[in-house]
Every structure is written in C-alpha cells, then in structure tokens.
Amino acid sequence: MQLGQYHTTDADEPWCGVATEDGSIVSLSEAGAAAGIHLPDATTDLLAEWNWRRKAELAVEHAAETGAGVYDADAVDRAAPVTNPQKVVCVGLNYRDHAEEGDNPIPDEPVLFSKFPTTVTGPEDTVSWDPDLTQKVDYEAELVAVIGEEARRVDPDEALDHVAGFTVGNDVSARDLQHGDGQWVRGKSLDSFAPIGPEIVTTDEVGDPHDLAISADVNGERLQESSTSNLIFGIDELVSFCSQAFTLTPGDLLFTGTPPGVGVYREPPVLLGDGDTVTVTVDGVGELTTDFAFD
C-alpha cells in the first residue's frame, strides 16, 4: 500500500489517501465513510487507529467497486505524506564511507540529532532559505522510516513491527551553521529543510529495507550512489536504540543516514543555490524531486 496526503485546492487541508496501481488516488476518509468505516484525514491519526491497515484496505476495496472517494491523480496535489509528526529523529554518520569522507570516527552506537517538525515539506514544495543566513546548503539522500505503532523499550527483533513503512527523504543541511554552531540543531532545522515523499510504502511492499539502492542527482548529475546494505546500524537497531531513550509515536519520522557524496566534502564542493534541483531515489520506495530557491 502506498499512503500519501493530498489536497484538491490550495485552501484544503491535506487528506490521507492511497495511490493505486491504476494511477488514481483514493481518499480514505471519503471511501471509508461510504463503506461505514471511520478513517481520519491525517496520516498521523490514521496510523494511530486500531487495525488501520485492514480498515484502509476495506475502504480501497469499496472505492474500487463504487467509485466513492476516487480522484484522478492529475486532479490532486501531493502534500508531504506526514505533515505533523511529533518527532523528526535523524541518524548521523550511518554509512561507513560517509563517516570516512568527513574524517569522522566510525561510531560505536547511533549518533542521533533532530530536525524540528517545521522542516517537513512535501514532494511538490520548494526548499527555500535566506542567503544572508546560510551560503552552504547541502543535500543528503536518505531512507526514512515512518513509525506506525508506539515503540517504547522494544527489542531489535520486534522493532520493525513498529514501522508502518518507508518514504524518501532529503536531510537538507546548512553546513556553515551546522559546523559553526558546534551542534547541529539550527543547521538542520531551517524551515522546509526536510522534504519527504512522494508516498509512504508500507513494509510489506518494500521487502528488505537493508538492501535498497539509494542515490541523489543534483541538476541531473549523479553525486550519491550506494545501498542501504551499507548502513552501519540497521532500521531494527535504530528503532530499538531510540525507543530506549524516548517513546516513538505513530507518524514519527526516522531519517536513517546518508551515503557518501554529499556536496560539502566533494572537490570542489557542490553546494545548492537558487534554481537547483535534487532528485533522491530509493529503489522500491520512490523518487523525490525537490526544487531549491532563495527566499
């Protein structure tokens, strides 16, 4: 199942839907209501529902039979598949060769930092910033895990049961702020600096999340290319590790780290500016293209 959030006009609040194989979008709340099933509009609320997968499947089945809540994909705009996460947790230095390209030691346990929820933006939105604030904006291709069930002190062998699915992310970073501040919060948390999407692909459709090709193209040139098989800490380890310290709740986003090839460490550096475009691709999860612009 591919879960996204959509709206039909700019004034609409986004609603959760399913992108179907025939190219249409099913509004889960509309199709659910027609089938006598209550389903909320927001993804975070949907994931908190008891037995949400089966309810969503029934809504999609009813929509296929009746046409209730069915929209042509060209008639809707895509919002971020999660727009109001409680937490955006990120993992630094989780690919060995990325740690090495920055002359960082290989971590013995996950290195965590966070981005504010106001960084989250959708697949059709523009990432923008004030060039007087930062002049070193960088890209980071990432696989993002979306929490589907509350996780508190879970063991690694149970951790993936708490993941609803995966989406594509770009951990946009203001390197001058990140490195100049001595800690990463400000440099990672400028508004719009966490584009995700286009949809969440549920775990049953992704297969092995530790064997997915991942890449980033900047203005059409491939600058990052690796596989999640090169993660130092797997998704199960990360979810378990986080849950020992704080509760993960439905809709929380876990950015799992970026492979080598980021702009700041290239010779010469490749940093983003007004009019640039970055496409992040994760095999089996999707392709996220983001435009960049000055405020």
pLDDT digits (tens, 9 = 90+) for 82-132: 999 999 999 999 998 888 888 888 899 999 999 999 999 999 999 999 999
Give pLDDT, residue 98.
Answer: 83
The whole-number pLDDT of residue 273 equals 98
Q: Does the pLDDT at position 152 exceed 90?
A: yes
Query: Does position 12 have pLDDT exceeding 80, yes or no?
Result: no
CB within 8 A of 61, min separation 6: which ones?
none
Give residue 286's pLDDT. 98
Residue 184 is predicted with a pLDDT of 95
Q: How far apart are CA 74 and CA 85, in angstroms?
A: 27
For residue 207, is pLDDT > 80? yes
Residue 240 has pLDDT above 80, yes or no: yes
DSSP-assigned letter for residue 151: B
Mean pLDDT of 164-186: 97
DSSP 132: T
pTM attached to this predicted model:
0.97
Tell me the pLDDT band of 176, cut-offs 50, 70 and 90: very high
32-59 as b/e, with b when 16 or more CB fall inside 10 Å?
bbbbebebbbbbbbbbbeeebbebbebb
13: confidence class by pLDDT, cuts 50, 70, 90: confident
pLDDT digits (tens, 9 = 90+) for 21-68: 999 999 999 999 999 999 999 999 999 999 999 999 999 999 999 999
Is residue 11 pLDDT above 70, yes or no? no
> For the chain, which domains are there?
2-79 (no CATH), 88-294 (3.90.850.10)
Answer yes or no: is pLDDT of 10 > 80. Answer: no
